[in-house]
Chain A
Amino acid sequence: MTATLSCEEVIGKLLEYLDRELDAAAQQEVERHLEACRGCFSRAEFERRLRARVAETGDVKAPESLRERVRTLVARY
């Protein structure tokens, strides 16, 4: 039988859990805790959404001038 993680332990592992950096057993332990603990679940959801907002900042359209520059480069060499 596996020991249950405390809230403090889960918070300590939360970012690595969201980054999928924990091993499978630790990942499952955190998941089990999140299913049962509203407070930690809220925090996990908050961190997940904040990460998504940060990731969105990389969503940009490259300018056509850059595409053309790269096409010229590849054609030349």
Chain B
Amino acid sequence: MGSIRERRAAEPVVLQQDAAMASGTQSACDDHARRQFFETEVERLMDRLYGMALRLTRNRTDAEDLVAEALAKAWAHLPSLHDLQCFEKWVFRILVNTFIGDRRRQAKAPCDLSVGQDDGHAFSLFEKVHQPFLLWWSNPEQQLLEKLRREDIERALDALPEVYRVVVIMVEVQGFSYAEVAETLSVPVGTVRSRLSRARALLQASLWRQAGQLGIAVGGSGGDVP
């Protein structure tokens, strides 16, 4: 047994060892907590992530690959996410950016997401079918919405040029704000606004065309679609 002085001299070493062990334990706890957090959040968001991927890729196999690739990136970079409250938006952004990156690589050329321009053209499905002088119980625009099937709407979305499809899916399907879309796509908010406007006009024109083909277009002013 050493002197008091010897023991005191040894103490800092012991404390350093304890600190190292404690730090290791803390790190293990962090890893465990991070893993648990990730698994819980991914389980909660999985259907929505897959739903968004499916609308973006228009293909089940590609959608699965996209989600898996995005989640692999998210898992690898999770330690860099300082505010876990932001996880949901963060992981959806990774999904969209992974999709855009993949498309750019496949195209071996700049993706059309970087060059989309709005020509200001507008088309309104409501204006096509609404009849203001009908009696109150007649509602042709509502009838049209009821007759359109989910696959009709999916087809119209899938037919949108990518530059518009991405924006409308982010806003209407996933509820992103214009600012969040702008940040994700690295474009000004005004560009998001104009792309969204164009996307909606194209979507409604496509639905109107399908309604005509299915024979479910009701009332309205008729006319050609753009």
Contact = CB atoms under 8 A, between A and B. Distances in A.
Contacts of A2: none
B148 A73 contact: no
- Describe B's contact surface by its main secondary structure: helix
Contacts of B132: 39
A77 B79 CA distance: 13
Given A43-B126, A66-B68, 12 more contacts: A19-B177, A42-B130, A46-B126, A51-B172, A57-B153, A58-B52, A60-B50, A62-B47, A66-B67, A69-B64, A70-B42, A73-B68
A14 to B, nearest CB: 10
12 contacts: A19-B177, A49-B145, A50-B145, A56-B150, A57-B150, A58-B51, A61-B47, A62-B50, A65-B64, A66-B64, A66-B67, A73-B68
B6 to A, nearest CB: 46
B71 A73 contact: yes
B185 interface: no
Contacts of A59: 47, 51
Interface string B48-76: 11111011000010001001100110011
A55 interface: yes
Contacts of A63: 50, 60, 64
Closest 6 CB pairs of A and B: A62-B50, A58-B51, A58-B173, A60-B51, A62-B46, A54-B172
Contacts, number: 104
Given A15-B200, A70-B42, A74-B38, A54 B168 contact: yes
- Describe A's contact surface by its main secondary structure: helix
Nearest to A39: B132
Nearest to B152: A53
Nearest to A61: B47
B35 A74 contact: yes
B113 interface: no
B90 interface: no
A70 B132 CA distance: 53
Nearest to A43: B126
B160 to A, nearest CB: 11
B145 A77 contact: no
A48 to B, nearest CB: 10
A55 B47 contact: no
A46 B145 contact: yes
A73 B65 CA distance: 13
